[in-house]
Amino acid sequence: MSRPGLATELLSGQFLKHATERRTLPDPMLADSISPGATKPEDEHRRDICTVGRWIHSRAFVASTDGNISVRLDSRRVLTSPTAISKGMMLPDDLVITDLRGKKLVGRRAASTELAMHLLIYNRRPDVNAVCHAHPPVATAHAAAGIALNKALLSELVISLGCIPVAPYGTPGTQELSDALEPIVQHYDAILLANHGVVTCGADLLTAFFRMETVEHFAQVSLVTELLGKQVLLSGRDVEKLLAARARYGTTTASTVTPGCPVTSDNIATAAGEPDRISITRKELEALIEEAVRKDRALR
């Protein structure tokens, strides 16, 4: 209270105004939002990757130094998170620039060990400018159980991602993982990696990150419906209408190319791995039992 003029500031409300201004000064390292779009200065891409790193860490989509994030800078360069650092603690200068074959061009640190997976996606998908890989727990549990997130449970998921398949297992950080992904990266914007985690991609980093959030959210909803013991799937007709509406939402990837994907109330009985279930009322069951007993008596 010894600063000259402080009392006057307090009385006039100026102190509060100044204090608030000091707390909200724009600090690029503390930014909690990123703008959509893939055409930006390199500095902004660096800050965006650090921001998404903090988001996936704070949402517990990764533990320790897991996960990796990258952005396509132009036709020959990729900006990627480095290996062996918490994605919640990255600074813009920690990031690494490589070419599309993985050769380091700029950076003090080593590039992500999963860079080959990112490069596979950039090389196969000219529409993709950002890739996000993480281990969100419920979606990763589905990947570990070999359970695809492919049921037509939520209308918005049918529109946005269609199906989220499980890619066969491949050792992380090796060619095996890229080989397992290669046949399906063309068709899906989000893929579960068996016994590992999730990879998502998009036209920009915000989209790739949102898809990671959507996968984990859907995995949670799907799990809870399993725990509730009941899943009411959309019908094939419902799904057709949603797929027809995709263009209005700007969804372009045909992520429903696999027959029976997504699984609807019409095809659940024949979907791979699903038991052939029917449902009948108690009255119908009683009638069936009575009929069987009557026939049995008639035979004696």
Residues that bind Zn ion (CB under 5 A): 197
CB 150 within 8 A of CB 216: no
Q: How far is the CB of 146 from Zn ion (least distance, A)?
A: 17
Q: Name the one residue in this structure whose structure tokens are 């009385």.
A: 11
Bridge partner residues of 193 (DSSP):
167, 197
C-beta closer to Zn ion: residue 81 or 251: 81
C-beta closer to Zn ion: residue 69 or 261: 69
Question: DSSP state, 258?
Answer: S
Q: How far is the CB of 93 from Zn ion (least distance, A)?
A: 24
Edge-first strand order for the sheet with 166-167 is 104-106, 96-99, 77-80, 68-72, 130-134, 197-202, 190-193, 166-167
Q: How far is the CB of 85 from Zn ion (least distance, A)?
A: 14
C-beta closer to Zn ion: residue 219 or 234: 219
From the centroid of its chain, how far is CA 138? 11
For Zn ion, the nearest residue by Cβ is 197
Q: How far is the CB of 144 from Zn ion (least distance, A)?
A: 12
C-beta closer to Zn ion: residue 83 or 220: 83
C-beta closer to Zn ion: residue 14 or 58: 58
**Listed residue (174, 173, 81, 187) closest to 127, CA to CA:** 187
Beta strands in the chain (DSSP E): 68-72, 77-80, 96-99, 104-106, 130-134, 166-167, 190-193, 197-202
Q: How far is the CB of 186 from Zn ion (least distance, A)?
A: 21
Structure tokens belonging to residue 107:
């950076």
C-beta closer to Zn ion: residue 82 or 197: 197
C-beta closer to Zn ion: residue 136 or 197: 197
C-beta closer to Zn ion: residue 114 or 189: 114
Task: List alpha helices for 182-268, DSSP H.
Answer: 205-228, 236-244, 246-249
Q: How far is the CB of 130 from Zn ion (least distance, A)?
A: 17
What CA–CA distances, in Å, run from 298 to 24, 94, 285, 286? 86, 83, 20, 18
- Geometric angle at alpha carbon 76, from 34 and 164, rounded to 5°: 55
Q: How far is the CB of 45 from Zn ion (least distance, A)?
A: 22
The Cα–Cα gap between 236 and 117 comes to: 34
Q: How far is the CB of 109 from Zn ion (least distance, A)?
A: 18
Fill in the amino acid letter for 228.
Answer: L
